[in-house]
Structure formats: C-alpha cells, structure tokens
Amino acid sequence: MARILITGSADGVGRLTAQLLAAGGHDVILHARSERRAEDARAGVPAARGIVVGDLSSIAAVRSIADQVNKLPPMDAVVHNAALGDTEPRRVETVDGLAHVFAVNVLAPYLLTALVARPRRLVYVSSGMQLSGTRDLADAQWTRRRWSGSRAYSDSKLFLTTLAFAVARRWPAVRANSADPGWVPTRMGGPGATDDLSLAPVTQAWLATEADVTGEHFFHQRPASVHPDTRVPGYQDELLAYCATLTGVTL
C-alpha cells in the first residue's frame, strides 16, 4: 500500500480522490488551508492517516507544509490537486505580491515538488482549459493586462501541465503526469458542469498507485491532448527558472 499526500482534500475532487485511495487501503495524508478546513477534511475522510495545514497562496506557508510533510514517513506519491477556479472577478494579490490564481495553481505545486522529499509518483491535476492557455510568462502576474479570470485559469493550467512534463524530463526515475478530472459539479465546477463526478478522481488515483507511465496527460485514464508548448524543453526550463526566481528555490 502507498502513502499519498493530496493537496486541497477538504472538499471537491481532492476529497473524492482521498476517499477512493483510503478505501483501497492506502495511507492518505490530507491537506487543508486552515485548521477550520482541516476539520472538514478529517470529517470527509475519516480513514486518513494524517493531515498537513497551510495556505497555498503564501510562499512561507507552502514551505511550512513541506516541512510538515517531510517530518512524516516518506510519501510514495503526491497528488497536486488544490486549485482556484476561473471565477475571480478581479486580480487578487497574495501576501507575496503575486496573482492569487498563479500562486495557488502553479507556484505552490512547483515549490512543494522542489521541497518535499522526492516520491516515486507525482500527479498534477490540470484541466482541459490548458488547451486555450497562453505560454507567455512576461505578464504571468497580470499586472499589465486587463484581468480575465478564465484566461488566468487557463494559463495556470498550461503552466501546471508544463511543470509536470518538466519534472518527468528532469527526474526520469519519477512517474510524473498530469490529469484532467473533467468539468464536474463540485463547488469549483459549479452546478452546470456536465461530466461524471464519480469518474473525476479515478485517473489521479490510478496515476498515484499503478500506472507505469511518465510525462503524459490523461482524461479518464486515456491519453489526452495538451497545448503543444507544454512539450517544448526550452519552455519548460523557462517556466522552472521563472518559478525559481519567485521562490528562491531551484528544482
């Protein structure tokens, strides 16, 4: 059985993934952004083996999360599930002066990947909206462009998918992949979502425990299309360098 950390597991697809893995006998470590949300996480997955707490929008808090994880027995897999959606009506700035969506959806997974003791498997929960993202990092923090929540979200998922492929290329011994859970009726997806919620966690659980593949993107356990720029090594390196500049931590 595997020991697996799942970020953003207080509700939604993260909770479903945790429930599925715990039901399969795996040792699941939950994550919540606050102690109040930690109570929700524990209630939702009572079979979980532990929980770490910290707000992914803060670089200092992400460092604390990594410290908490590294004090536990080593992880076999990390599922980078936590994310903000595409509904923020304006640019929200974090304590570090970054765009909220970028900080949570991109920089936190980067920093946790760099700081948590290297597991055998890494899963990055992306979205079909990565296909409409733009690769330009010149204004990744949305300080010059007019804010668009949907575009910022799409960009963040393109960056995240690129991160997954960069890790797979640089760490060949690690199974690093991205997954699209579909547009499902969670709090983030909204009641109008049309995909099957019961299928949303299946691919992530499979990638975290069984799949013998790396550097791929999946939808319902089948290879899916990605933005072509995510496959470009030079662009992958550009993204890693950008994240390293923001955090002071090199992958």
> Inter-axis angle of helices 149-170 and 233-247, to 10 degrees?
110
- Alpha-carbon distance 184 to 197, whole Å? 5
Catalytic positions are 153, 157
Neighbours of 222 (CB within 10 A): 7
Closest CA to 102 of 60, 177, 65, 153: 153
Contacts of 183 (CB under 8 A, 6+ apart): 128, 189, 193, 194, 195
Between the alpha carbon of residue 238 and those of residues 11, 123, 136, 175, 242, the distances in Å are 33, 21, 10, 22, 6
DSSP state of 174: S
Residue 87, amino acid: T
Neighbours of 187 (CB within 10 A): 9
CA 129 to chain centre: 14
- Alpha-carbon distance 123 to 105, whole Å? 13
Look up residue 3 and give its two tokens.
């020991």
